[in-house]
Protein backbone atom coordinates (compact mmCIF):
# COMPACT_ATOMS: atom_id res chain seq x y z
CA UNK A 1 0.00 0.00 0.00
CA UNK A 2 1.45 3.39 -1.05
CA UNK A 3 1.57 6.46 1.19
CA UNK A 4 -1.28 8.12 -0.76
CA UNK A 5 -3.46 5.01 -0.40
CA UNK A 6 -2.75 4.84 3.31
CA UNK A 7 -3.58 8.52 3.72
CA UNK A 8 -6.85 8.17 1.81
CA UNK A 9 -7.86 5.32 4.13
CA UNK A 10 -6.86 7.19 7.26
CA UNK A 11 -8.78 6.30 10.44
CA UNK A 12 -11.70 8.69 10.64
CA UNK A 13 -11.15 9.10 14.38
CA UNK A 14 -8.05 11.14 13.50
CA UNK A 15 -10.26 13.51 11.48
CA UNK A 16 -12.70 13.67 14.39
CA UNK A 17 -9.81 14.55 16.69
CA UNK A 18 -8.60 17.32 14.36
CA UNK A 19 -12.11 18.82 14.19
CA UNK A 20 -12.52 18.49 17.96
CA UNK A 21 -9.26 20.31 18.61
CA UNK A 22 -10.06 22.98 16.01
CA UNK A 23 -13.32 23.64 17.87
CA UNK A 24 -11.99 23.47 21.39
CA UNK A 25 -8.69 25.37 21.19
CA UNK A 26 -10.05 28.64 19.71
CA UNK A 27 -12.79 28.60 22.35
CA UNK A 28 -10.14 28.34 25.07
CA UNK A 29 -7.72 30.77 23.43
CA UNK A 30 -9.78 33.24 21.34
CA UNK A 31 -8.06 35.32 18.67
CA UNK A 32 -10.89 37.76 17.91
CA UNK A 33 -10.42 38.46 14.23
CA UNK A 34 -12.48 41.40 12.89
CA UNK A 35 -15.90 40.52 11.44
CA UNK A 36 -17.02 42.19 8.21
CA UNK A 37 -20.70 43.15 8.07
CA UNK A 38 -22.64 41.81 5.09
CA UNK A 39 -25.46 43.81 3.43
CA UNK A 40 -27.95 41.00 4.28
CA UNK A 41 -27.45 41.39 8.03
CA UNK A 42 -27.25 45.16 7.79
CA UNK A 43 -30.68 45.08 6.09
CA UNK A 44 -32.32 43.71 9.26
CA UNK A 45 -30.32 45.98 11.57
CA UNK A 46 -31.03 49.16 9.58
CA UNK A 47 -34.76 48.44 9.41
CA UNK A 48 -35.04 47.96 13.19
CA UNK A 49 -32.91 51.06 13.66
CA UNK A 50 -35.30 53.07 11.49
CA UNK A 51 -38.43 52.05 13.45
CA UNK A 52 -39.85 54.72 15.77
CA UNK A 53 -40.27 53.99 19.48
CA UNK A 54 -43.38 51.91 20.26
CA UNK A 55 -43.46 50.19 16.86
CA UNK A 56 -44.59 46.58 16.85
CA UNK A 57 -41.81 44.04 16.35
CA UNK A 58 -42.85 40.42 15.90
CA UNK A 59 -40.18 37.80 16.51
CA UNK A 60 -41.04 34.25 15.60
CA UNK A 61 -38.53 31.83 17.07
CA UNK A 62 -39.16 28.92 14.73
CA UNK A 63 -36.47 26.49 15.84
CA UNK A 64 -35.79 23.72 18.31
CA UNK A 65 -32.78 22.99 20.56
CA UNK A 66 -30.90 21.32 17.67
CA UNK A 67 -30.36 24.75 16.08
CA UNK A 68 -29.72 26.53 19.37
CA UNK A 69 -25.99 27.24 18.77
CA UNK A 70 -26.78 29.28 15.67
CA UNK A 71 -30.22 30.74 16.28
CA UNK A 72 -30.08 31.43 20.01
CA UNK A 73 -27.37 34.14 19.62
CA UNK A 74 -29.43 35.64 16.77
CA UNK A 75 -32.51 35.85 19.01
CA UNK A 76 -30.56 37.42 21.85
CA UNK A 77 -29.06 40.10 19.59
CA UNK A 78 -32.39 40.91 17.92
CA UNK A 79 -34.22 41.12 21.24
CA UNK A 80 -31.51 43.33 22.76
CA UNK A 81 -31.69 45.64 19.75
CA UNK A 82 -35.50 45.79 19.78
CA UNK A 83 -35.68 46.44 23.52
CA UNK A 84 -32.97 49.07 23.29
CA UNK A 85 -35.05 50.83 20.63
CA UNK A 86 -38.10 50.60 22.95
CA UNK A 87 -40.11 48.63 20.42
CA UNK A 88 -43.14 46.63 21.50
CA UNK A 89 -41.95 43.03 21.20
CA UNK A 90 -44.38 40.24 20.34
CA UNK A 91 -42.58 36.89 20.46
CA UNK A 92 -43.91 33.48 19.52
CA UNK A 93 -42.90 30.14 18.02
CA UNK A 94 -44.29 27.81 15.38
CA UNK A 95 -42.18 24.89 16.67
CA UNK A 96 -43.62 23.13 19.70
CA UNK A 97 -40.25 21.69 20.72
CA UNK A 98 -38.76 25.17 20.85
CA UNK A 99 -41.40 26.71 23.14
CA UNK A 100 -39.49 26.41 26.42
CA UNK A 101 -36.27 27.69 24.90
CA UNK A 102 -38.05 30.63 23.25
CA UNK A 103 -39.71 31.55 26.55
CA UNK A 104 -36.36 31.42 28.34
CA UNK A 105 -34.55 33.64 25.84
CA UNK A 106 -37.31 36.25 25.72
CA UNK A 107 -37.66 36.36 29.52
CA UNK A 108 -33.89 36.46 30.05
CA UNK A 109 -33.23 39.35 27.63
CA UNK A 110 -36.31 41.27 28.80
CA UNK A 111 -35.16 40.99 32.43
CA UNK A 112 -31.65 42.08 31.45
CA UNK A 113 -33.06 45.14 29.64
CA UNK A 114 -35.50 45.95 32.44
CA UNK A 115 -38.64 45.30 30.40
CA UNK A 116 -42.03 44.38 31.81
CA UNK A 117 -44.09 41.41 30.63
CA UNK A 118 -47.42 42.45 29.13
CA UNK A 119 -46.42 46.09 28.91
CA UNK A 120 -43.21 46.09 26.87
CA UNK A 121 -43.30 42.57 25.52
CA UNK A 122 -45.36 39.41 25.34
CA UNK A 123 -44.50 35.81 24.63
CA UNK A 124 -47.47 34.21 22.93
CA UNK A 125 -46.05 30.68 23.00
CA UNK A 126 -46.99 28.00 20.49
CA UNK A 127 -50.27 27.22 18.82
CA UNK A 128 -51.03 24.15 16.66
CA UNK A 129 -51.53 24.40 12.93
CA UNK A 130 -48.11 25.45 11.58
CA UNK A 131 -48.69 27.78 8.66
CA UNK A 132 -52.40 28.02 9.52
CA UNK A 133 -51.35 29.95 12.65
CA UNK A 134 -49.78 32.62 10.44
CA UNK A 135 -52.98 32.97 8.41
CA UNK A 136 -55.06 32.99 11.56
CA UNK A 137 -52.88 35.74 13.04
CA UNK A 138 -53.25 37.63 9.78
CA UNK A 139 -57.02 37.52 10.17
CA UNK A 140 -57.34 37.83 13.95
CA UNK A 141 -54.38 37.77 16.32
CA UNK A 142 -56.58 37.13 19.36
CA UNK A 143 -58.25 34.19 17.63
CA UNK A 144 -54.88 32.55 17.05
CA UNK A 145 -53.61 33.32 20.56
CA UNK A 146 -56.47 33.98 22.98
CA UNK A 147 -53.96 33.80 25.85
CA UNK A 148 -50.22 34.31 26.14
CA UNK A 149 -47.76 31.61 27.27
CA UNK A 150 -48.49 32.35 30.92
CA UNK A 151 -52.23 32.02 30.37
CA UNK A 152 -53.03 35.74 30.55
CA UNK A 153 -55.75 36.79 28.07
CA UNK A 154 -54.09 38.61 25.18
CA UNK A 155 -57.02 40.99 24.71
CA UNK A 156 -56.37 44.01 26.86
CA UNK A 157 -52.59 43.56 27.19
CA UNK A 158 -51.01 47.05 26.94
CA UNK A 159 -48.26 45.74 24.61
CA UNK A 160 -50.89 44.62 22.10
CA UNK A 161 -52.87 47.86 22.16
CA UNK A 162 -53.94 48.82 18.65
CA UNK A 163 -52.94 45.47 17.16
CA UNK A 164 -55.76 43.47 15.61
CA UNK A 165 -53.83 41.31 13.18
CA UNK A 166 -50.57 41.00 11.24
CA UNK A 167 -51.38 44.12 9.21
CA UNK A 168 -50.61 46.15 12.35
CA UNK A 169 -47.13 44.67 12.74
CA UNK A 170 -44.36 47.07 11.69
CA UNK A 171 -41.65 44.50 11.31
CA UNK A 172 -41.52 40.74 11.65
CA UNK A 173 -38.48 38.50 11.78
CA UNK A 174 -38.66 34.74 11.61
CA UNK A 175 -35.68 32.83 12.91
CA UNK A 176 -36.32 29.55 11.17
CA UNK A 177 -34.54 26.23 11.22
CA UNK A 178 -36.85 24.62 8.65
CA UNK A 179 -40.52 24.50 7.84
CA UNK A 180 -42.52 26.43 9.03
CA UNK A 181 -39.99 29.22 8.99
CA UNK A 182 -38.94 32.22 6.93
CA UNK A 183 -40.50 30.99 3.68
CA UNK A 184 -43.84 30.22 5.36
CA UNK A 185 -43.90 33.68 6.93
CA UNK A 186 -43.46 35.18 3.46
CA UNK A 187 -45.96 32.97 1.61
CA UNK A 188 -48.73 32.95 4.23
CA UNK A 189 -47.95 36.22 6.01
CA UNK A 190 -46.19 39.05 4.27
CA UNK A 191 -47.60 38.36 0.81
CA UNK A 192 -51.18 38.87 2.02
CA UNK A 193 -50.91 41.06 5.10
CA UNK A 194 -48.21 43.42 3.77
CA UNK A 195 -45.85 43.83 6.71
CA UNK A 196 -42.08 44.10 6.33
CA UNK A 197 -40.28 40.81 6.88
CA UNK A 198 -36.72 39.83 7.72
CA UNK A 199 -35.23 36.41 8.24
CA UNK A 200 -32.70 34.48 10.21
CA UNK A 201 -31.71 30.89 9.65
CA UNK A 202 -29.06 28.23 10.15
CA UNK A 203 -25.94 28.35 7.97
CA UNK A 204 -26.98 25.40 5.80
CA UNK A 205 -30.37 26.98 5.06
CA UNK A 206 -29.07 30.42 4.11
CA UNK A 207 -28.25 29.75 0.42
CA UNK A 208 -31.84 28.55 -0.10
CA UNK A 209 -33.24 31.87 1.09
CA UNK A 210 -31.19 34.10 -1.20
CA UNK A 211 -33.88 34.18 -3.93
CA UNK A 212 -36.30 35.70 -1.36
CA UNK A 213 -33.64 38.21 -0.38
CA UNK A 214 -32.67 39.21 -3.89
CA UNK A 215 -36.29 39.76 -4.93
CA UNK A 216 -37.01 41.90 -1.85
CA UNK A 217 -39.47 39.39 -0.41
CA UNK A 218 -37.38 39.60 2.76
CA UNK A 219 -35.42 42.75 3.48
CA UNK A 220 -32.51 41.08 5.25
CA UNK A 221 -31.12 37.73 6.25
CA UNK A 222 -29.07 36.67 9.25
CA UNK A 223 -27.36 33.46 8.19
CA UNK A 224 -25.97 31.06 10.77
CA UNK A 225 -23.44 31.81 13.47
CA UNK A 226 -21.63 34.24 11.16
CA UNK A 227 -24.82 36.29 10.76
CA UNK A 228 -25.32 36.29 14.52
CA UNK A 229 -21.72 37.44 15.04
CA UNK A 230 -22.27 40.26 12.54
CA UNK A 231 -25.40 41.33 14.40
CA UNK A 232 -23.59 41.24 17.74
CA UNK A 233 -20.90 43.47 16.19
CA UNK A 234 -23.55 45.87 14.89
CA UNK A 235 -25.26 46.30 18.26
CA UNK A 236 -21.87 46.43 19.99
CA UNK A 237 -22.58 43.61 22.43
CA UNK A 238 -20.23 40.68 22.14
CA UNK A 239 -21.85 37.33 22.76
CA UNK A 240 -21.62 33.62 22.04
CA UNK A 241 -21.62 34.13 18.26
CA UNK A 242 -18.49 36.28 18.20
CA UNK A 243 -16.87 33.86 20.65
CA UNK A 244 -17.73 30.97 18.32
CA UNK A 245 -16.39 32.59 15.15
CA UNK A 246 -12.78 31.64 15.89
CA UNK A 247 -13.80 28.01 16.32
CA UNK A 248 -15.78 28.16 13.08
CA UNK A 249 -12.81 29.77 11.29
CA UNK A 250 -10.51 26.99 12.47
CA UNK A 251 -12.89 24.16 11.54
CA UNK A 252 -13.58 25.65 8.09
CA UNK A 253 -9.84 25.91 7.50
CA UNK A 254 -9.31 22.35 8.75
CA UNK A 255 -11.97 21.01 6.37
CA UNK A 256 -10.45 22.97 3.45
CA UNK A 257 -7.00 21.57 4.24
CA UNK A 258 -8.46 18.05 4.50
CA UNK A 259 -10.22 18.42 1.14
CA UNK A 260 -7.06 19.72 -0.53
CA UNK A 261 -4.99 16.87 0.96
CA UNK A 262 -7.52 14.26 -0.11
CA UNK A 263 -7.42 15.63 -3.67
CA UNK A 264 -3.61 15.67 -3.71
CA UNK A 265 -3.52 12.01 -2.65
CA UNK A 266 -6.28 11.14 -5.10
CA UNK A 267 -4.43 12.72 -8.06
CA UNK A 268 -1.12 11.16 -7.05
CA UNK A 269 -2.83 7.74 -6.95
CA UNK A 270 -4.45 8.37 -10.33
CA UNK A 271 -1.10 9.34 -11.85
CA UNK A 272 0.51 6.24 -10.40
CA UNK A 273 -2.18 3.93 -11.80
CA UNK A 274 -1.90 5.67 -15.22
CA UNK A 275 1.87 5.20 -15.22
CA UNK A 276 1.45 1.54 -14.28
CA UNK A 277 -1.07 1.14 -17.09
CA UNK A 278 1.39 2.61 -19.61
CA UNK A 279 4.29 0.48 -18.42
CA UNK A 280 2.03 -2.61 -18.51
CA UNK A 281 1.29 -1.97 -22.20
Partner 1 sequence: MIFLRRQVPLLITLITGLVFAAQYYVPHPASEQMLTSVTKWLQIIGGFALVLGVSSLFHVHAIKIRRKEAGWGYSFVLYVSMLGTIAVGLWSNGKEAVDGAMTSFGWIYNFMMVPLQGTMFAILAFFIASAAYRSFRARSREAAVLLIAAVIVMMGRVPLGEYLIPLSGDLSQWILNVLNASVRRAILIGVSLGTVALSIKIIFGMERSYLGGGKE
Our CB check for partner 1 shows the closer of 125 and 159 to be: 125
Give 235's contacts (C-beta < 8 A, 6+ positions apart).
Answer: 45, 77, 80, 81, 84
Binding mask 171-190 toward partner 1 (x if CB under 8 A, else -) reads --------------------
Report whether 218 contacts 198 (CB < 8 A): yes
- Could you tell me the smallest distance in angstroms from the CB atom of residue 236 to partner 1? 17
Near partner 1 by CB under 8 A, which window of 64-72, 116-124, 152-160, 272-280?
64-72
Residue 220 C-beta: closest distance to partner 1, Å: 13
Sign of CA dihedral 141, 142, 145, 150: positive
Cα distance between residue 174 and residue 69, in whole Å: 16
From 46-54, 75-83, 155-163, 255-263, give the range in contact with partner 1 by CB under 8 A: 255-263
105 near partner 1, rule: CB under 8 A: no
CB of 111 to partner 1, least distance (A): 9
214-243 residues in contact with partner 1 (CB under 8 A) are: 214-215, 224, 226
User: Segment near partner 1 (CB under 8 A), from 9-17, 43-51, 79-87, 152-160?
Assistant: 9-17
Residue 164 binds to partner 1 (criterion: CB under 8 A): no
Q: Which range of residues in 44-52, 54-62, 116-124, 132-140 is near partner 1 by CB under 8 A? A: 132-140
Amino acid sequence: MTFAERMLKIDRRIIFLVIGLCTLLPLLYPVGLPIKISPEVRGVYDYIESLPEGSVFLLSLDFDPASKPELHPQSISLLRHAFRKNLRVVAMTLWVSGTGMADQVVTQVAREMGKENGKDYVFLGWSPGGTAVIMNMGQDLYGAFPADYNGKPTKGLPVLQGIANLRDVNYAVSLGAGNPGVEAWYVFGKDKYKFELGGGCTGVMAPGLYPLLRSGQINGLIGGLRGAAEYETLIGQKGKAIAGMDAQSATHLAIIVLVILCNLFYFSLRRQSKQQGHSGL
